[in-house]
Copies of this chain bind each other. A is one copy, B any other.
Amino acid sequence: MEETYSFEDKSGRKISLRPELTAPAMRFYVESLQMETKPLKLYYFGNCFRYDRPQKGRYREFWQFGVELIGSSSPLADAEVISLAYSIMNALDLDFELHIGHVGLLRHLLKEIEEDKASKIMRLIDKKDEKGLEDYLNEIGAPSDLRDNIRAMIDLTGSRDVLEDAKRIIPDFDFSHLETLCDVLDALSVEYTLNLGIARGLDYYTGVVFEAYAKHGLGAQKQICGGGSYRLAHLFGGEDVPATGFALGFDRIAEICKIKPQRKKTVVIVSFSGLESEAFRIADQIRKNTDAHVVVDVMGRNIKRQLSYANDIKADLVVIAGKKELEEGKITVKDMVTGEQKMLSIHELIDELDS
């Protein structure tokens, strides 16, 4: 790929930083997992690199979270991974559209065209480069009915009904794979649009392909998920095996994801000069027994500045463990919201924080 981040290392070897993670996952499968019982389900989360002009939502280093299901060419396998991608994006409360297609349809249309030319056509379709596509079809002298059919197929986007239109274009294609997939997705109430013009950029896809687009917030770089069924194992010397999977564009999703981590209570332990070890011991007990965010002074600040720091970081509770309190085996706990103040044992405080 042109975009690959490649260089020579100190001993002159040609090295590339990985541009995606499906190929590394399949290499790992070939090297270590070929003998395992199928199907295999792998997931990954890692950084990838491309040598490209950085722009909003498109960085030279980016993160992918992905899943590969290895060993099945059944539409059930596609249904499993598509519904998983759908569940993940829903769990993240994203506003997205899921588009599903099948590269087999366009390839079937192109079956009389030489392989490298067909690949180039698929790439132009993937890039939505209509002008480039038309020019190239002219250049290779594609017959006009083929051109019409390609244009018609690319435009087929909508509900399951578009399959009927597709059948009119390629009546000898077997649509049962797509139909079973739709049956299962419908049973799972997955909302999707059939989009028979999805070509994906890479040659390794063999059948069902899918992409998800964010509805807002990402401009032109709105694709947040891409996947499909493919064959790659042979590239790494493995036995040919069907697989299907997807990757989520983590950076783009982070950009639009509105879910915030659950807020924990912040507890500031005020420590007195000479009693710092006690403050640390109290902090340690609360940390080990609750999920509160516990802060103890590490600056050697005086009491007044510790209290003002507690204010700055919007602490929920302030714990004061002075000499008097410690002698009674108690601590003073001040609620920073209500201003209420009370003496508690550490265990009582832990119980309160835990409830």
How far is B283's CA from A188's CA once the two chains are assembled, in angstroms?
Answer: 10
A44 within 8 Å of B by Cβ?
no
A132 within 8 Å of B by Cβ?
no
Partner of A298, one of B9, B72, B188, B280: B72
* A188 and B10 contact, CB distance less than 8 A: no
* A277 and B77 contact, CB distance less than 8 A: no
Which residues from chain B contact A115 at a C-beta distance below 8 Å? none
CB distance from A313 to the nearest CB of B (A): 7
Which residues from chain B contact A38 at a C-beta distance below 8 Å? 299
* B5 and A277 contact, CB distance less than 8 A: no
Contact string, A276-309, partner B, CB cutoff 8 A, digits 1/0? Answer: 1110110010001000000011111000000001
CB distance from A329 to the nearest CB of B (A): 16
User: What copy number does this chain have within its complex?
Assistant: 2
A327 within 8 Å of B by Cβ?
no
Which residues from chain B contact A299 at a C-beta distance below 8 Å? 38-39, 71-72, 74, 76-77
Which residues from chain B contact A15 at a C-beta distance below 8 Å? 7
Stretch in A102-110, A179-187, A253-261, A340-348 touching the partner: A179-187
How far is B87's CA from A309's CA once the two chains are assembled, in angstroms?
Answer: 26
* B298 and A74 contact, CB distance less than 8 A: yes
Q: What are 18 A-to-B residue pairs whose CB atoms are below 8 Å? A: A5-B9, A7-B10, A7-B15, A10-B51, A69-B298, A72-B298, A74-B298, A74-B300, A76-B276, A76-B280, A76-B299, A77-B298, A83-B280, A87-B288, A183-B277, A187-B277, A187-B278, A188-B281
What 5 pairs between A and B have smallest CB-CB spacing? A187-B277, A77-B298, A7-B7, A74-B300, A76-B298
